[in-house]
Structure 1
Amino acid sequence: MYAWIWRKLPFGTPGKLIGSLLIVTSLLALFWYVVFPWAEPLLPFDDVQVTQEGGEPGDPVDGEPGVDGDDPNLDGEPPGDGHDLPYDTERNNTPPPSPTR
């Protein structure tokens, strides 16, 4: 098939190279703008459901905070944003660069 296309393209080798690039570019654009958007709803990439076997979605899982008394906020404070960072986020703690860098 490719040999037949190569033989049918006009204008010698330079024209055949340019024609081949145009054909490949046209096919890529056709797939990118027409075929892939049409096929996207048919593919299961966004249909993800992870559940614990025997449980309902949303049920607590062993090892999660609040299950079996392993809540990290035992001091009674309401949970913050859930991110306890081990470093200061208000200032830069890195040393200044050395002159050799």
Structure 2
Amino acid sequence: MYSWIYRHLPGPARVRIPLAVLLVLLAVTFLLLVVFPAVEPHLPATRVTVSD
């Protein structure tokens, strides 16, 4: 998968590497800001009860 993405990026290696890093950063940002907050309420670990 990663090699397929790298091969389809335009330009020589000096252009592809920054583009690949940018794509990874965008994917991580999207996951942290959109996907994980949307999924978090549905996880069972959010219903923690502590009794004294």
The TM tier, using the shorter chain, reads 0.7 to 0.9
Q: For residues 30 and 45 of structure 1, what CA distance do their matches in structure 2 show?
A: 22
Give the fraction of aligned pairs with identical amino acids, expressed as a percent: 37
- Paired positions, count: 52
Give the Cα separation in 2 of the matches to 1:38 and 1:46.
13
Distance in 2 between the 1:32 and 1:26 partners? Answer: 10
Aligned equivalents of 1:39 and 1:16: distance in 2?
32
Letter in structure 2 aligned against 1:6: Y
Mark the runs of 5 or more structure 1 residues left unpaired by the alignment. Answer: 52-57, 59-101
Question: What's the CA shift for 1:49?
Answer: 2.7
Per residue, is there more helix in 1 or in 2?
2
Q: 1:30 corresponds to which residue? A: 30
Tell me which structure has the larger Cα radius of gyration.
1
Tell me the residue number matched to 1:3.
Answer: 3
Flag the structure with more relative contact order, 1 or 2, with Cα contacts below 8 A and sequence separation at least 6: 2
Q: TM-score, normalised by structure 1?
A: 0.46
When the two structures are superposed, what TM-score results if normalisation uses the length of structure 2? 0.81
Runs of 4+ residues over 2 Å off in structure 1? none
User: Gaps (5+ residues) in structure 2?
Assistant: none
Question: Equivalent residue of 1:45, what SS?
Answer: helix
Matched position secondary structure for 2:46: coil
Shift of 1:50: 4.9
